[in-house]
Amino acid sequence: MAKSSSATATATASGTKKRKSKSGALTHEEVKALGLELLSSRAHLNHAPTLLALLSPTAPLSIALEALISLQSFFEPLLPSIPSASAAAAAAGGASDDPELVFGAWLRQRFEEFVAALVELSVSPDSDEAIREVALDAFMDFVKLGKDGSFHSAIYHKFLHAVVHATNSIDDVLELLGSKYSKYADVCFFTYTSLDKIANSLVSQTTGSGKDVLQNGDDGAEDRSAICVRNVYNILVHVPALDFKKESKFDMWSTVGLSSKGEKDTSEGSSATRISKKLKLKFTKAWLAFLKLPLPLDVYKEVLATLHQNVIPSMSNPAILCDFLTTSYDIGGVISVMALSGLFILMTQHQLEYPKFYDKLYALLTPAVFMAKHRSVFLQLLDACLKSSYLQAYLVASFAKRLSRLALSVPPAGALIIIALIHNLLRRHPSINFLVHWEVAQDDGEASLPKKIGADPFNNEETDPAKSGAMRSSLWEIDTLRHHYTPAVSRFVASLETDLTVRAKTMEMKITDFSSGSYATVFRDEARRRIKQVPLAFYRSTPTSLFQESDFPGWTFGCQSNSGAQASVEGNAVHTLETGDASPAKRSRVQISVGRDRV
């Protein structure tokens, strides 16, 4: 039987060679005929390697599609009979003379080649969009046809491994994977499982180069590991966590789903709860393994910007992120600003205790914050962090004084936010209202006032709020904003003139109304504002010159009347104006000469 099969395969191979030799490359009709012969009998098994050779991203689209469909139809019914990799290796090594075992080993090898070709067609940037989608669909069909209808996690892991290690863009394949298959719970489960393994393997492979990229911000110094880190992050973003709270029943891609052997669910509710716990656990492990990697600076910022919305709510134990977030918060600058969102959630919702939190927050108040990209979220969180009535008076006074000092150097939109923040602080904490108006008694005036007239005891360079001296200062900076060059700022300062201690007559300002402000928004609001009274320029007497001599030191302005001819003065710029006197009949031409004084 083995000899006859070998002879048949040899004859088939020679027939294929003759068919190719007539017209060079195979045509679409010839490829279709090979597929039909392959599906009809075992006598044409050697057509499989021929069709596998046609599965290339650079092959003609029609031929590659025909070969892919024929091979998919050939392997699908044989998938349950394909032996495991160990059994196939033993049979291929000559350990058995059974023809069926030899055929099984050959079939296993061809199937692995077919799976590798599908992965290449899905990931390669040279693949056409149509062949990429068909290849991914065929691959996922084999994934759902595992043993006894279970999820074929081994070949799915190969696919994700190839995606992570791809050097070109993987956006197209991730869009297909996310839009078609991320809604299935078992696909998400095994995606997290594979990413956990891949990320842990990358941790052992990476060196200190990734940390240098983070600290120096040198995006051009990327190596292959940095590309893999980006790909892992992109997969996590495109296959997000399912909404565990709203899901009462999870859809499964495979027949068995996530059920283990011997498990019996009493109801759909218990099944959904069990699946939800499994998904949360795998989701948490995948993200923790990813966060251990040396993240490039741009990925680091994206993670911090979305962590509090997309990751923390879906984790089994969000408090486990405290090390990552506290380390990020201690870095300083923009990284600390972006880490504040996640850290604030852990502190308020998951009982995280972080000493020196307000000292770090106080140090973040610099002019650069009011021009940062994520200033809106930061300023809203700043307002929320200072809302507690249990905060010490010196701490609130330090923040109010630090903000008022910043109002002198930030853009107009930042000054508006600062006024709103100080308004809320004065209203929430009556103990710091003395900063607005000092009451100095005549007896102890010398003791209360600073030793030097005009000196401010507040130290803006001090990083410790307790040592800043804000309790002995005042908010004199806010008074200077009355004369701000932007009308919106000078008008808004008036909101602090009311008695904010009377809480019944006042209300807190929403920081969200000001946190996204910029020069453009200030200009737009001012341009739309309806002005009731327009100031006009007028003169009590008719001007005799365009400018006053005091405006331009070193220049003289003279007025000469000329009845008819226009005089020319050497070295002077002569401008003629037509003016009228009391009598309409009489007009004179006034020549205004502007000349530079000769030295």
pLDDT in tens, 491-521: 888 878 776 767 677 788 888 888 777 888 8
- The CA distance from 211 to 221, in Å, is 11
Q: How far is CA 58 from the centre of its chain?
A: 35
Q: Are residues 110 and 177 in the same domain?
A: no
- The CA distance from 323 to 481, in Å, is 42
Distances (CA, A) of 257 to 149, 152, 208, 235: 8, 11, 40, 21
Q: Are residues 508 and 399 in the same domain?
A: yes
Which of 506, 530, 554 marks a domain boundary?
A: 530
Q: Are residues 511 and 523 in the same domain?
A: yes
> Is 248 among the domain residues?
yes
* Of 579 and 415, more confident: 415
> Is 391 among the domain residues?
yes
pLDDT band, residue 307 (cuts 50/70/90): very high
Q: Are residues 99 and 172 in the same domain?
A: no
pLDDT at 106: 87
pLDDT band, residue 577 (cuts 50/70/90): very low
Range ranked top by mean pLDDT from 58-72, 95-109, 216-230, 248-262:
58-72
Taking a C-beta distance cutoff of 8 angstroms, is the pair 221, 212 a contact? yes
> Is 491 among the domain residues?
yes
Q: Are residues 123 and 161 in the same domain?
A: no
Taking a C-beta distance cutoff of 8 angstroms, is the pair 421, 414 a contact? no
Q: Are residues 185 and 100 in the same domain?
A: no
pTM (2 decimals)?
0.74
> Is 449 among the domain residues?
no
- The CA distance from 326 to 338, in Å, is 12
Q: Are residues 389 and 506 in the same domain?
A: yes
* Of the listed ranges 183-197, 254-268, 415-429, the one predicted with least confidence: 254-268
Q: Are residues 62 and 132 in the same domain?
A: yes
pLDDT band, residue 355 (cuts 50/70/90): confident
- The CA distance from 194 to 200, in Å, is 10
pLDDT at 531: 76
Q: Into how many domains does the chain fold?
A: 3
pLDDT band, residue 436 (cuts 50/70/90): confident
* Of 320 and 247, more confident: 320
> Is 319 among the domain residues?
no
Which of 494, 512, 530 marks a domain boundary?
A: 530
Taking a C-beta distance cutoff of 8 angstroms, is the pair 403, 421 a contact? yes
Which of 530, 546, 566 marks a domain boundary?
A: 530
Residue in the block written with tokens 């940095």: 226
> Is 427 among the domain residues?
yes
Residue in the block written with tokens 């020549």: 591
Q: Are residues 105 and 178 in the same domain?
A: no
Q: Are residues 375 and 490 in the same domain?
A: yes
CB neighbour burial string for 166-186, b if at least 16 within 10 angstroms, e if fewer: beeebebbbebbbeebbebbb
Range ranked top by mean pLDDT from 17-26, 322-331, 443-452, 495-504:
322-331
> Is 253 among the domain residues?
yes
Torsion over CA: 538, 541, 542, 547 (sign)? negative
3-class DSSP state for residue 555?
A: strand
230: containing domain: 147-206+221-257+271-294
Q: Which token pair is 168? A: 């070109």
Given a cut of 50, whether residue 231 has pLDDT beyond it is: yes
Given a cut of 50, whether residue 566 has pLDDT beyond it is: no
Q: Are residues 84 and 194 in the same domain?
A: no
pLDDT band, residue 255 (cuts 50/70/90): confident
> Is 329 among the domain residues?
no
Taking a C-beta distance cutoff of 8 angstroms, is the pair 381, 521 a contact? no
Distances (CA, A) of 204 to 137, 167, 175, 191, 236: 33, 20, 29, 20, 20
pLDDT at 440: 54
Averaged pLDDT score across all residues of the chain: 79
pLDDT band, residue 159 (cuts 50/70/90): very high
Given a cut of 80, whether residue 319 has pLDDT beyond it is: yes
Q: Are residues 367 and 501 in the same domain?
A: yes
Given a cut of 70, whether residue 38 has pLDDT beyond it is: yes
pLDDT at 592: 37
pLDDT band, residue 544 (cuts 50/70/90): confident
Average pLDDT over residues 538-551: 72
